[in-house]
Structure 1
Amino acid sequence: MNSPTFIRLRFACKLSFAIVFALFVGFHLNLETPRWSVLTAAIVVAGPAFAAGGEPFSGAIRYRAWLRIIGTFIGCFVGLVIIILCARAPVVMLMLCCIWLGVCTWISSLVKVENSYAWGLAGYTALIIVVTSASGPSALLQAPQFALERCSEIVLGILSAVLADLLFSPRSIKQDIDRAVDQLLVRQYRLMQMCISNAEKEDIDRAWGDLVKSTTALNGMRANLMLESSRWQRVNRRVRVLHTLSLTLITQACETYLILLNHPEAVQENIRELLMMPAETPQEVHQNLKRVRQVLATSLTHETLLTVSTWVGTATRYLLVAKGVHTNSGISAVENEILAGEVEVKKPSAEGHHALINGLRAWAATSIGCLFWLWTGWTSGSGCMVMIAIVTALAMRTPNPKMMAFDFLLGVLMALPMGALFYMFILPQTQQSMFLLCLSLGALAFFIGIEVQKRRLGSLGTLSSTINIIVLSNPMHFSITTFIDSAIGQIIGCFVAMIVLSLIRDTSRERTGLTLMNQLVSSAVSALTTQAARRRENHLPALYQRLNQLLMMFPNDIAKYRLGLNLIIAHQRMQQTEIPAKEELSLFHQQIRKTADHVVSAKSARKRAYYYDRLLKEMHEYQQKLVDNQAPISVTGPVKRLADMLHRYRHALID
């Protein structure tokens, strides 16, 4: 029952059922364009499968469904507002819609990927409403009815997708979370073993890099879990804390490795031997940690390396919370203290310039298509415009927009012969039988559903484009001219979008990487504080999110993410340092934070270098102030190491 072949076939049946049910109900309710409900069901079910490379979790389908509803309603509302304001000026109306699409694309590039789908949909839905209404004076008067029909048909398609997911054994993500939680703990233990045994630097880099990705993936599973059932709320709280604890374990293990490079004798031999005992399961890790805690309890505090003792304490808390994840039991008083211990801090996006380029691309592509349509009066110009909007709005959400646009182009090219087969031969023969109509489309969805799970290039585009050009209307009309115009409009729309993506180059990669590094510098420096409340703030998830972005943007630049990890370690050390509560130091902290913010926000290399040098100067002055205020070595030592690091890597952080 759990074989890969069975799961693939089950998902193909799920996709077929969603499409057939949406088609059947759409015709039964006498909806004018059941095509939209069918297309929605196909995209909501197949989209997550294409992204996951297999059957998606049930929460992923429902999450995408909610985002599609929200985006559709926002887009319809904005489209109607634009029509009401500019009905007498069609050119202005279309240009405003292009601007709206660009703004939505810009916002979708700034927010996290999961929620960006709603903004992208809001952008091109408004354009669909406006473009369809601009095709003639009578269509303009029917815009409210058109928007209402689209909303109702989108909701029907989404209900069909959710019903199909419920009927065909929804795949729960809970078991995957349980498995990931256990694997993370064992891998964290192995990383610590590597760090205290002086393993090869490349092996350690690979181990902690994989752990960062796995920890990020675990945190991403929470949204899908919460959409499955409200009974997972306690698990959701625990997984959120496990995310932080896992990142803390990575930081403490890597800091231990850096300390042992200069002081190999810093870890007691008996503790090293206990930690080096093999462990393949969470239970074995638990037993080994229990022995280490017994030794630590009988050892003097100054004889034990701080990072090792804190790592053992963090791993113990991880075990306690992980047990609650497996059982979903009530939260105890001790566990509640762990769950409520820190306040997570959100950081602004570092991809502002990248998002601006994406918005510009979307606006330019749709504006070119709009002007071409107005100039030529092409009958299928509206279809071309819609395809340009869809490709630019959705492709910008992906790491490689050009590849996504090529996938769409390949899909519409494959949809031409496949759609012609259905439109000219199969569908006309099914007009007297709803059963044959559903059977033919169900068979198409079944075979493409198998290919979508393999992430076959062009498979998702083929499914959506084929459904789009066969024009499932009520009643159905079979005009060869209309079909050819629609198919060519789709192809030209994808081609124009690809040309715009190629001409407007995104050169923000290096700039974004530099901004991410400077934000890590700013976070490390901003951890200098005399306030206990600021020290309780949890910056680790945001910091590792930036580090994960660096890993994805520069996969082969080991030096860059080693430096990023060192800055995160410095931040954690600064945050745990109790600086003397002096007014003079507190005021100087504000000055240093302000200068660090200027480094991040600097628009030119000259200004960035100026503020960075000023930051180095202030860090030097701050060290002297610490000496004047008789700060202990536990304070001056970490500050000096941070200042030396900033000076040593000056060129890497500003050039």
Structure 2
Amino acid sequence: MQWYRLRFPIKLTFAIVLALVIGFHFNLQTPRWAVMTACIVAGGTAFAAGGDPFSGALRHRGMLRIIGTFIGCIASLVIMIATIRAPVVMLLLCCLWAGFCVWLSSLIKVENSYALGLAGYTALIIVVSLNANGSVLVAPQFAVERCSEIIIGIVCAILADMLFSPRSIKQDVDREVDALLVDHYHLMQLCVAPAPKEEVDNALTGLVRRTTAVNGMRSHLMMESGRWHNIDRRLRALNTLSLTLITQAAEAFVIQDTREAYLPPQFHILFEKPATTVADVHKQMKVLRRVISASGSKNTPVTIANWVGAATRYLLLIKGIHTNARISRMEEEVLNGEPVVKMRSAETRHALVNGIRTFVATAVGSLFWLWSGWSSGSGAMVMLAVVTALAMRMPNPLMMAKDFLYGMIVAIPLGSLYYMFIMPSTQQSMLLLCIAMGVMAFVAGILIQRRQIGTLGALVGTVNVLTLDNPMTFNVSAFLDNALGQAIGCFLALLVILLIRDTSKDRIGRTLLNRFMYSAVSALTTNQLRRRENHLPALYQQLFMLLNMFPGDINKYRIALTLIISHQRLREAEIPVNADLSAYHKQLRHTADRVVASGSDTKRRRNFEQLLAELGIYQDKLRQYDAPLSATEPVQRLREMLKKYQSTLIQI
């Protein structure tokens, strides 16, 4: 096994052992919270990354955990102060808070949602733990101790990452931005040729995914160090340029597929030349710019001119990304080109279902625990809150719930081995205890970076049931009670996910397609500020979501991509400026917005038919005002496309 494959297991082992030593050395009341935090922060980041995480990822996750813990502690104190005399109301309010946090976390960025999910179940854990021990009056002390122990665990994880050669993402960024440009050139070759539809679709889909991945690397780079600020600005602009290249290549393919001899012969010949490196692409750009200058704008297709211009700006930014040099005047013009527009989330119903799942699961569990007096109820409640809060934001909540369940089942025999045999033999030696815990952490680290299902849950579950109190006591019945409680809690969370089904997938898909339609219609404007707005990053972000939700539905993908192309073409169309057309643009946007917001199939169909009729009237108005072909042709193509795919765009 190579050294880099052992780097993360060593980090994880060091973080856990250091948290254990500090916890016992400073006589913390519950050192296991520090150890568990080190496990979750280091192990969870590696499990998500599928290997040793990049430098900065651990620090970012650690800061989110600190923020979430503090918010959860404050919320728990407020709830307990307000409802100290009504335990049932107290628990139900905590369940409502957990559901609210999960709902809110489903509407924000995935990388930041961890803090809100943690804030939700932290409040519930504190209240449940204090109720189980009958010590609600010491809530402030308990909250402070929990925060302190969690911060110790986070510091240990970050220190381990800093000591054992953190892996920088900068080289990966340099390599990927170069490869991306070469692949953009290959895509343009396929579109100009033209290649079969299936081959072009695969190349387009791959470039959308890789562009999204490069944009994600930007956040990792900023987590690593503030000195990459200039590269961060360049990567933001590079993301837009990459999406522009994809759109122009796709438009060249679509238009060429419907109109013969759209591309002059010289461009077919030029794009036949191979390019395997950035230097080859650079040479081709020089030749293409000379040909475009010699041919003139009238003899050069708009898509080719726009593609070459975007590729040239891409090459300019690549140099600065590699060197991290100061931003030049030419680069500043590219970086400040167009304001980027953000779109609201399309997952509102999905977020609501997530919040309801968490609230129902924890509320029913709390009421059953209070009614039955079940001794394992507190452990089950904790796991129920943790799994429902963390799993809901994942692309596949059911799989994460299974991962926790498998891990907790494995934790029963593994924890029994440690609790009944190994740990009693290490009572007189801190060194032996560290060796025993370190061996378990090292083996778990190897399996975690391979994404072995159940491994992370088994490690966290085992640490949790070992209690690691100071001083240690070995109550076998209490141990079995806790181990069974957390396994039952994971099983109940899995049942909740299975019973409360999320049927919002088709609704989200239709909403996304209708938003693509709205973006194309809203591009019909004579307002210069609106025409300068850059919608491409938001549109492709939603296209990426559509690809993940419907990976095998090529028709939805083609409809969305065609609407993005229509948006860009209409945004650049030479629309006559007059009051009549400006007023009609508002009417078109209003009708398109009603299509998106319609709550029933009947209303949506009626509004959609009205939109098609209004687009027909708008075509007549453009002819009446002698609009050029660059304006009338895209509007006609948009109307025909919407009419062709009407059933897909309005179905439930």
Distance 1:418 1:426 in 2: 11
Distance 2:132 2:614 in 1: 64
Distance 2:411 2:576 in 1: 70
Q: For residues 281-300 of structure 1, what are the structure 2 equivalents within 5 Å?
A: 281-300=277-296
- Shift in Å at residue 323 of structure 1? 1.0
Distance 1:383 1:198 in 2: 62
- Identify the residue that residue 15 of structure 1 maps to in structure 2: 12
- Shift in Å at residue 263 of structure 1? 2.8
Distance 2:422 2:218 in 1: 44
- Identify the residue that residue 469 of structure 1 maps to in structure 2: 465
> Which of 74, 80, 83 is equivalent to 1:83?
80
> Which of 10, 32, 39 is equivalent to 1:35?
32
> Which of 334, 337, 340 is equivalent to 2:333?
337
- Identify the residue that residue 132 of structure 1 maps to in structure 2: 129
Asked if 1:364 is matched to 2:378, the reply is no
Normalised by the size of structure 1, how large is the TM-score?
0.98
- Identify the residue that residue 61 of structure 1 maps to in structure 2: 58
Asked if 1:478 is matched to 2:474, the reply is yes
Aligned-partner residue type, residue 229 of structure 1: S
Distance 1:273 1:477 in 2: 80
Distance 1:376 1:116 in 2: 34
Spell out, residue by residue over 1:179-218, the C-alpha distance to the aligned partner (whole angstroms, 9 max, x if none).
Answer: 1101100000000000000101101000000000000000
Aligned-partner residue type, residue 281 of structure 1: T
SS in 1 for 2:545: helix
- Shift in Å at residue 584 of structure 1? 2.0
- Identify the residue that residue 276 of structure 2 maps to in structure 1: 280
Asked if 1:184 is matched to 2:200, the reply is no
- Shift in Å at residue 62 of structure 1? 1.4
- Identify the residue that residue 412 of structure 2 maps to in structure 1: 416
Q: For residues 511-590 of structure 1, what are the structure 2 equivalents within 5 Å?
A: 511-590=507-586
Q: Percent identity?
A: 58
Distance 2:227 2:58 in 1: 19
Q: For residues 372-387 of structure 1, what are the structure 2 equivalents within 5 Å?
A: 372-387=368-383
Distance 1:292 1:629 in 2: 36
- Shift in Å at residue 271 of structure 1? 2.3
Distance 1:239 1:625 in 2: 42
- Identify the residue that residue 104 of structure 1 maps to in structure 2: 101
Distance 2:370 2:344 in 1: 40
- Identify the residue that residue 93 of structure 1 maps to in structure 2: 90
- Shift in Å at residue 628 of structure 1? 2.8
- Shift in Å at residue 631 of structure 1? 2.1
Distance 1:212 1:19 in 2: 39
Asked if 1:611 is matched to 2:607, the reply is yes
Asked if 1:118 is matched to 2:115, the reply is yes
CA contact (8 A) 2:574 2:627 kept: no
> Which of 381, 392, 398 is equivalent to 2:388?
392
> Which of 139, 158, 161 is equivalent to 1:162?
158
- Shift in Å at residue 136 of structure 1? 5.1
- Identify the residue that residue 198 of structure 1 maps to in structure 2: 194
Distance 2:91 2:583 in 1: 53
Aligned-partner residue type, residue 371 of structure 1: L
Spell out, residue by residue over 1:144-171, the C-alpha distance to the aligned partner (whole angstroms, 9 max, x if none).
Answer: 1111111111111111111000000000
> Which of 241, 246, 251 is equivalent to 2:247?
251
SS in 2 for 1:301: coil
CA contact (8 A) 1:275 1:292 kept: no
CA contact (8 A) 1:366 1:389 kept: yes
CA contact (8 A) 1:80 1:129 kept: no
Aligned-partner residue type, residue 78 of structure 2: V
- Shift in Å at residue 490 of structure 1? 0.4
Distance 2:286 2:260 in 1: 24
Distance 1:634 1:209 in 2: 28
- Shift in Å at residue 354 of structure 1? 1.1
Distance 2:581 2:74 in 1: 53
- Shift in Å at residue 632 of structure 1? 2.1
> Which of 487, 493, 506 is equivalent to 2:502?
506
Aligned-partner residue type, residue 339 of structure 1: L
Aligned-partner residue type, residue 442 of structure 1: G
Distance 2:475 2:599 in 1: 56
Distance 1:26 1:622 in 2: 72
Segment of structure 1 superposing worse, 414-423 or 25-34: 25-34
Distance 1:630 1:297 in 2: 29
Distance 2:44 2:22 in 1: 22
Asked if 1:147 is matched to 2:173, the reply is no
> Which of 3, 20, 25 is equivalent to 2:22?
25
Distance 1:205 1:644 in 2: 21
Distance 2:133 2:158 in 1: 36
Distance 1:99 1:584 in 2: 52
Spell out, residue by residue over 1:516-563, the C-alpha distance to the aligned partner (whole angstroms, 9 max, x if none).
Answer: 101111111111111111111111011011111111111111111011
CA contact (8 A) 1:196 1:257 kept: yes
Distance 2:204 2:60 in 1: 30
Distance 1:554 1:536 in 2: 31
- Identify the residue that residue 303 of structure 1 maps to in structure 2: 299
Structure 1: gaps spanning 5 or more residues: none
- Shift in Å at residue 581 of structure 1? 2.2
CA contact (8 A) 2:12 2:43 kept: yes
- Identify the residue that residue 402 of structure 1 maps to in structure 2: 398
Aligned-partner residue type, residue 386 of structure 1: V
Structure 1 runs of 4+ with >6 Å offset: none
Aligned-partner residue type, residue 633 of structure 1: L
- Shift in Å at residue 308 of structure 1? 0.6
Distance 2:525 2:508 in 1: 28
Asked if 1:213 is matched to 2:209, the reply is yes
- The count of corresponding residues between Structure 1 and Structure 2 is 651
Distance 2:160 2:260 in 1: 60
Distance 2:570 2:329 in 1: 29
CA contact (8 A) 2:57 2:224 kept: no
Distance 2:264 2:431 in 1: 76
Distance 1:429 1:92 in 2: 45
- Shift in Å at residue 321 of structure 1? 0.5
Aligned-partner residue type, residue 381 of structure 2: M
CA contact (8 A) 1:17 1:164 kept: yes
- Shift in Å at residue 262 of structure 1? 2.5
CA contact (8 A) 2:12 2:39 kept: yes
Distance 1:446 1:435 in 2: 16
SS in 2 for 1:344: coil
> Which of 346, 358, 380 is equivalent to 2:342?
346
CA contact (8 A) 1:59 1:223 kept: no
- Shift in Å at residue 460 of structure 1? 0.7
Distance 1:44 1:104 in 2: 20
- Identify the residue that residue 594 of structure 1 maps to in structure 2: 590
Segment of structure 1 superposing worse, 51-60 or 536-545: 51-60
SS in 2 for 1:451: helix
SS in 1 for 2:599: coil
- Shift in Å at residue 390 of structure 1? 0.4
- Shift in Å at residue 593 of structure 1? 1.3
Asked if 1:313 is matched to 2:302, the reply is no
> Which of 629, 643, 646 is equivalent to 1:647?
643
Aligned-partner residue type, residue 37 of structure 1: A
